[in-house]
Amino acid sequence: MLRRWLDKAMAGGLDTALLGLSLAAALALSQVQARILEPIGPVRPLAEPDLLEQIQQRLAEKARSGELAALQQQASQATLAALRTPAPVAGLVTDSKAHTSYVDPSYVLERDIVDAGGQILFGRGMRVNPLDALAMPGQLLFFDARDARQLKLAATLLAHNDHPIKPVLVGGSPMELSRLWRRPVYFDQTGALAKKLHIVQVPAMVTQDGKRLRIDAYGVQP
C-alpha cells in the first residue's frame, strides 16, 4: 500500500514526491515506535512494598509506643556525657622523675601560599616557624584531673605563677573543673595537641623558649 502511494506521489512531481516521502517516513517511524511501546509480556503490579513508606510506618509505630522518645533521650544523654567528660587521651604516663624536652614547631609548606592577586607569598617546600611571626601568649599546662596529685599540683602552679597559664585536661571533666575554679578549662580532644608537642608524660608545662617550645614534665610522687 505504501509503495502504491509513493508511485502516485512521484507522478505529481519532485516537490510532491519529497513531501510524500517525508510523510511516509514519519508514518513508518510512528508505526515502529508504536510497536516498541507495545507490551511484550504480561504486566503485573510491583509486589515489593515501598521502602520509604515502610520506614515512615516503623517510625510512626515507635513514636506511638514511646520507643522513639526513649531512643532520643538516650542519644541526648550520651552526647551530654561526652561533653561533660570526654574520652581521656591515651598513651600518656606519669613518672616520679621530672624531665625537660624541646620541640621545634617549624613545618614545611606542602603548597604555595598566594595573595589575592595570585602572587606567591611563601613557596611550596619553604620551612616556616610560627614563632617567627607570633609569640606564644602564655603557657599551656597539660594534666589529668582524675589524678588528685596532678590536680593539686596544677592548682598550685596556677595560683603561684607570674605568667598566664591555660589549663588543658587530658582526662577528667573540663566543665566541672571550670565551675570549681571559676575559670576556663580546656580539653585536648583526641590528644591532638599532645601529639604535636610530643608530650608523653603529664603534668607538663609548655613554654616558649626563643624559636622553640620547652616541655617541662613534672615528677609526681606515688
pLDDT at residue 212 is higher than 70? yes
Whether 201 contacts 99, CB under 8 Å: yes
Closest to 93 measured CA to CA, from 138, 25, 59, 142: 142
> Where do the H-state alpha helices sit in 44-186?
51-65, 67-84, 148-159, 174-181
pLDDT at residue 9 is higher than 50? no
Closest to 143 measured CA to CA, from 198, 186, 80, 99: 186
> Where do the H-state alpha helices sit in 12-50?
14-37
Query: For the residues 61-89, what does the mean pLDDT come to?
Result: 75
CB burial readout 91-109, b (16+ within 10 A) else e: ebebeeeeeeeeeebeeee
Average pLDDT across the chain, whole number: 82
pLDDT at residue 186 is higher than 90? yes
3-state secondary structure of 194: helix
Q: How many CB atoms lie within 10 A of CB 59?
A: 12
Query: For the residues 182-199, what does the mean pLDDT come to?
Result: 95
User: pLDDT tens digit string along 26-71?
Assistant: 555 555 444 555 666 677 776 677 778 888 888 888 888 888 777 7
pLDDT for the residue numbered 60: 85
User: pLDDT tens digit string along 164-178?
Assistant: 999 999 999 999 999
Enclosing H/E stretch for 169 = strand 165-171
Share of the chain above pLDDT 70, in %: 76
pLDDT at residue 15 is higher than 50? no
pLDDT for the residue numbered 69: 75
pLDDT for the residue numbered 162: 82
Query: For the residues 65-81, what does the mean pLDDT come to?
Result: 71
| pLDDT band, very low/low/confident/very high, at 163 (cuts 50, 70, 90) | confident
Cell 608530650, located at residue: 199
Top pLDDT among 19 and 142 is at 142
pLDDT for the residue numbered 42: 73
Top pLDDT among 113 and 83 is at 113
